[in-house]
């Protein structure tokens, strides 16, 4: 699955995002303690770190012939100007395990490099309850643990979040 196209998710894509989230209930359960709820897609489109400008958040979709294959929640300039934070990268369950996650991440990194020139570092958190799925994936994409570890809580679910980063090459030396 190499021919994915990345574009911003619009209001017309909300049902497709919801369907993608519901395709892999295990992920939502591992990070919230609950199965997916009916407004998870809406919430994904709206949620952003406190105090951050609305335009700093972008939700992107990777599409194969207008079929939504993966969704990515990306924050520009968090926690500092030179960093982009990936809140979520989720591949539709029926496309997992066939390279779509890798291709989607490559497209996301290219998007950041070409549209947010001040960004030098890609950053994300892996929650321990999801580590078995996420850690190897992110390491394969070139991410390394920073050593920063913090408590993670979602309602009754308590776990630990571990931060990972990938440094981008300098402009002009890519
Ligand atoms: C994690 C996720 C994005 C991976 O996407 P995918 O399309 O299945 O992954 P790919 O087929 O592109 O695999 C890329 C690499 O990661 C590895 N990988 C993917 N899922 C893995 C898993 N569950 N366990 C171990 N390794 C895994 C693959 O072996 C592959 O390695 P390779 O490049 O050496 O061959 C997908 O499983 C997913 O959406 N999970 C639910 C949401 C989630 O946990 N997202 C990450 C946290 S934000």
CATH (domain of 101): 3.40.630.30
Helix spans in 116-169 (H):
131-140
Looking at the domain assignment, is residue 174 inside a domain? no
Question: 53 alpha carbon to ligand 1 midpoint, in Å?
Answer: 30
- Which residues form the pocket of ligand 1, taking CB atoms under 6 Å from any ligand atom? 24, 27, 88-91, 96-102, 130, 133-134, 136-137, 140
Of 98, 130, 137, 143, best ligand 1 pocket probe by most atoms within 8 Å of the beta carbon: 137
Looking at the domain assignment, is residue 172 inside a domain? no
Looking at the domain assignment, is residue 74 inside a domain? yes
Question: 122 alpha carbon to ligand 1 midpoint, in Å?
Answer: 17
CA–CA gap between residue 168 and residue 89 (Å, rounded)? 18
Question: 42 alpha carbon to ligand 1 midpoint, in Å?
Answer: 24
The predicted structure's pLDDT at residue 53: 87
User: Quick one: tokens of 70?
Assistant: 């993966």
Looking at the domain assignment, is residue 153 inside a domain? yes
User: Quick one: tokens of 65?
Assistant: 């012939």
Looking at the domain assignment, is residue 21 inside a domain? yes
| CA dihedral angle for residue 121, residue 127, residue 128, residue 131, rounded to 10 degrees | -60
Neighbouring-strand partners of residue 86: 74, 124
User: What's the pLDDT tens digit per position in 34-65?
Assistant: 999 999 999 999 888 888 888 899 999 999 99
Looking at the domain assignment, is residue 31 inside a domain? yes
The predicted structure's pLDDT at residue 105: 98
CA–CA gap between residue 137 and residue 4 (Å, rounded)? 18
The predicted structure's pLDDT at residue 70: 98
CA–CA gap between residue 29 and residue 10 (Å, rounded)? 26
Looking at the domain assignment, is residue 75 inside a domain? yes
The maximal CA–CA distance of the chain, rounded, in angstroms, is 47
This prediction's pTM: 0.96
| E strand residue ranges, 1-132 | 5-8, 57-64, 67-76, 83-91, 121-127
Provide the domain limits for residue 102: 5-167
Q: Is residue 134 over pLDDT 70?
A: yes
Looking at the domain assignment, is residue 141 inside a domain? yes
The predicted structure's pLDDT at residue 168: 97
User: What's the pLDDT tens digit per position in 56-104?
Assistant: 999 999 999 989 999 999 999 999 999 999 999 999 999 999 999 999 9
Number of domains the chain is built from = 1
């Amino acid at each position: 699955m190499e021919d994915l196209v990345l574009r911003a998710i619009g209001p017309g894509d909300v049902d497709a995002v919801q369907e993608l989230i519901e395709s892999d209930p295990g992920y939502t359960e591992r990070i919230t303690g609950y199965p997916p709820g009916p407004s998870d897609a809406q919430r994904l489109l709206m949620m952003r770190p406190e105090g951050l400008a609305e335009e700093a958040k972008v939700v992107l979709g990777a599409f194969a012939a207008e079929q939504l294959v993966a969704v990515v929640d990306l924050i520009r300039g968090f926690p500092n100007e030179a960093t982009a934070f990936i809140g979520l990268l989720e591949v539709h369950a029926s496309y997992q395990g066939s390279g779509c996650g890798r291709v989607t991440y490559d497209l996301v990194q290219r998007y950041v490099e070409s549209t947010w020139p001040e960004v030098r570092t890609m950053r994300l958190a892996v929650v321990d309850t999801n580590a078995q799925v996420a850690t190897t994936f992110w390491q394969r994409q070139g991410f390394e643990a920073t050593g920063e570890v913090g408590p993670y809580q979602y309602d009754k679910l308590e776990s630990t979040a571990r931060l990972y980063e990938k440094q981008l090459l300098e402009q002009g030396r890519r």
